[in-house]
Structure formats: structure tokens, C-alpha cells
């Protein structure tokens, strides 16, 4: 079983799915945000400003900033309803239509009568968006909270802005628990850049598509034909009867994770093809792969269902 990211036709395109401009709480104009990502070698971004009343519910029109080698996907960070801790939901929606109907979310405080997080996530997915649960650790998300977002395609497992701004970057714990409950979810790494601190160019997705076009990229995301990275490249991930075979750029560690405490690591020097035994995963329906290079930068595969 080969992960579909490595069998799908096309090539990989590098993109950031979560970033902000001065249409909400970022500090740069949308055009400058796009220019900087293009200058840093990205193929696409989704500019996902806060879809909330105090900012007049923006969905940034980034279409004018597309060209023959850089594109944009319309999107927003949605907010509606209270989590268990009493704070407002943050839900990433990539591929929203420009006329997506606002929720009743006047500010960053839940109000009576507004949609729940689950309801606005479902409405975004029904409108064609790729939906991810944003920064679970930063949000103080509980597992019970996460279970309610049945429309999610993915969990944001690495958020570079949360890493630099509060050292709460992770969503792996949330993802792994949901996987072990049978939820078919992928994972994304993002920036959540505001350009008010060094919160940019730290986490991205590599999406396999026939062309660098918004609709093709969103459909590939929905099919899980991508991986996430801080720098290393994944080139092949395959599950055989006895091993997980990982081909990558030069790395120092390859780790396979599964249900509960199941994990096996192989460490070495300049590894580009690694076989990890499956013995620890007899009780796991799923596995996923992390690779770590000599500088400590990581890349992550989407989960694979092995049973």
C-alpha cells in the first residue's frame, strides 16, 4: 500500500493554508503577503483572515495577485460558537466561495444564538471548502470539542505562529486520539502568519496536482494527496506486510506512529531510504510517518489505514 500522495499524477506544489493580512489582525496588505510568499518560493497560499464582524467578515480577494507561477485559494478562519473553555471556535476553511454567508460573530466572544463550531464547519464544507480544526493546543481544545467537528478534513498539527508566539504549536494529540476512534482525518502544517513576529515560512503543505490551479489544489487536499513539512522532503511512503518503507531527502530520524503508545524510530546519518518494522503496530488500524533532519526540521505524512 503506497500513500496516494506518491502515486497521484502531477507534481508537488508548496503552499501555506493559514495566514492573515491587515484585513483582520495581520500587519501587511494582502498584495504584500502574496508577494512575500511568492518571493520565498511558494507556489500558492490561502489568505485566511478572521471571518468576524469587527473586521467586516473579510474573504480577501487575492485573485489579482495570481500569475503563471503563483496562485491563491480564497479562504478564511471561521469563528462561531463556544468551545468547552468558553472561547470562540477557530476553524480553517480553504476554498470558500467569495459570497460565503457570514455567521453572527460580531467579535471574539461567543454570543447567544450564533452557529456552533460544528454547524459553521459543516456549512463551509458544504460550500466546497477544505476544513481543518485550527491550532488545538493553542485553543485549549478538548477531545470532546474536537469530536463535534464532524465536517473536518484535517487537524492542524503544526502552527508556526503558535510555535513562535506562545510555544503551543501542536495538534498531534488531538489528531491521534480521533484517528484511534476511527475518524478518517489528515494533518496540515501551517504558518498562521501575521508578520508581527517571526511567524512566517515555518510550516507548509506539499500538494500533488496536475497543475497549480486553485480548484485542482483543493480537490487534491480533499483526497489527501499531500504531505506537510518544515523543510525535509518525503518522496515515497509505503506499507508492506512487515515494514513501512520511507524514501526522503537526507534525514537523521524516521519515526512511525500508531494507536496508543505504538511508535518505532530508526536513527542514523543521511538516511534517504528507511525501513521501519511493523511489529509494534499489531493493535493499530493506522500509521503515520515523521522524518527529522539533522537541523531538527520535520516532515509528516498523512495517516494510512492498514486494517
Tens digit of pLDDT for each residue in 59-112? Answer: 999 999 999 999 999 999 999 999 999 999 999 999 999 999 999 999 999 999
Model pLDDT, residue 79: 98
Average pLDDT over residues 8-17: 98
Q: Residue 199 — very low, low, confident or very high, per pLDDT cuts 50/70/90?
A: very high
Domains and CATH numbers, the chain: 4-229 (3.20.20.140), 234-305 (2.60.40)
Model pLDDT, residue 307: 87
Which residues are CB-contacts of 107 (< 8 A; sequence separation ≥ 6)?
52, 53, 54
Average pLDDT over residues 194-220: 98
What predicted TM-score, i.e. pTM, was given to this entire model? 0.97
**How many CA atoms lie within 13 Å of 151's alpha carbon, on the beta-carbon side?**
19
Q: What are φ and ψ of residue 85, in 5° steps? A: -85, 5
CA 17, chain centre distance (Å): 7
Tens digit of pLDDT for each residue in 27-54? Answer: 999 999 999 999 999 999 999 999 999 9
Tens digit of pLDDT for each residue in 211-221? Answer: 999 999 999 99
Report the candidate in 220, 213, 215 with the shortest Cα–Cα distance to residue 67: 213
Tens digit of pLDDT for each residue in 248-278? Answer: 999 999 999 999 999 999 999 999 999 999 9
Report the candidate in 92, 129, 123, 98 with the shortest Cα–Cα distance to residue 18: 92
CA distance 76 to 248: 32
Q: What is the CA radius of gyration of the chain?
A: 19
- When the pLDDT of each residue in the chain is averaged and rounded to a whole number, the result is 98
∠ Cα 251 252 256 (to 5°): 85
What is 19-51 written as a DSSP string? B--TTTT-SS-HHHHHHHHHHTT-SEEEE--EE
Amino acid at each position: 500500500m503506497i500513500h496516494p500522495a506518491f502515486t497521484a499524477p502531477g507534481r508537488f506544489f508548496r503552499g501555506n493554508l493559514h495566514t492573515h493580512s491587515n484585513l483582520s489582525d495581520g500587519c501587511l496588505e494582502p498584495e504584500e503577503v502574496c508577494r512575500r510568499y511568492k518571493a520565498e518560493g511558494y507556489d500558492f497560499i490561502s489568505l485566511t483572515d478572521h471571518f468576524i464582524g469587527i473586521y467586516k467578515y473579510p474573504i480577501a480577494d487575492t485573485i489579482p495577485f495570481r500569475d503563471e507561477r503563483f496562485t491563491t485559494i480564497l479562504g478564511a478562519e471561521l469563528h462561531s460558537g463556544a468551545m468547552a473553555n468558553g472561547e470562540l471556535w477557530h476553524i480553517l476553511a480553504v476554498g470558500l466561495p467569495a459570497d460565503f454567508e457570514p455567521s453572527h460573530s460580531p467579535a471574539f466572544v461567543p454570543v447567544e444564538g450564533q452557529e456552533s463550531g460544528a454547524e459553521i464547519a459543516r456549512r463551509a464544507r458544504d460550500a466546497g471548502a477544505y476544513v481543518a480544526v485550527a491550532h488545538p493546543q493553542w485553543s485549549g481544545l478538548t477531545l470532546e470539542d474536537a469530536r463535534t467537528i464532524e465536517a473536518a478534513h484535517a487537524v492542524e498539527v503544526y502552527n508556526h505562529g503558535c510555535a513562535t508566539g506562545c510555544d503551543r504549536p501542536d495538534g498531534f494529540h488531538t489528531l491521534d486520539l480521533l484517528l484511534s476512534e476511527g475518524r478518517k482525518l489528515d494533518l496540515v502544517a501551517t504558518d498562521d502568519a501575521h508578520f508581527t513576529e517571526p511567524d512566517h515560512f515555518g510550516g507548509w503543505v506539499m500538494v500533488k496536482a496536475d497543475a497549480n490551479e486553485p480548484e485542482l489544489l483543493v480537490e487534491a487536499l480533499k483526497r489527501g494527496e499531500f504531505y506537510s513539512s518544515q523543510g525535509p522532503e518525503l518522496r515515497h511512503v509505503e506499507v508492506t506486510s512487515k515494514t513501512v518503507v520511507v524514501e526522503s531527502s537526507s534525514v537523521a530520524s524516521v519515526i512511525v506512529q500508531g494507536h496508543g503508545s505504538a511508535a518505532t524510530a530508526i536513527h542514523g546519518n543521511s538516511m534517504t531510504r528507511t525501513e521501519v518494522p511493523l511489529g509494534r503496530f499489531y493493535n493499530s488500524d493506522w500509521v503515520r510517518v515523521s522524518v527529522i533532519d539533522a537541523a531538527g526540521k520535520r516532515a509528516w505524512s498523512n495517516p494510512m489505514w492498514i486494517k
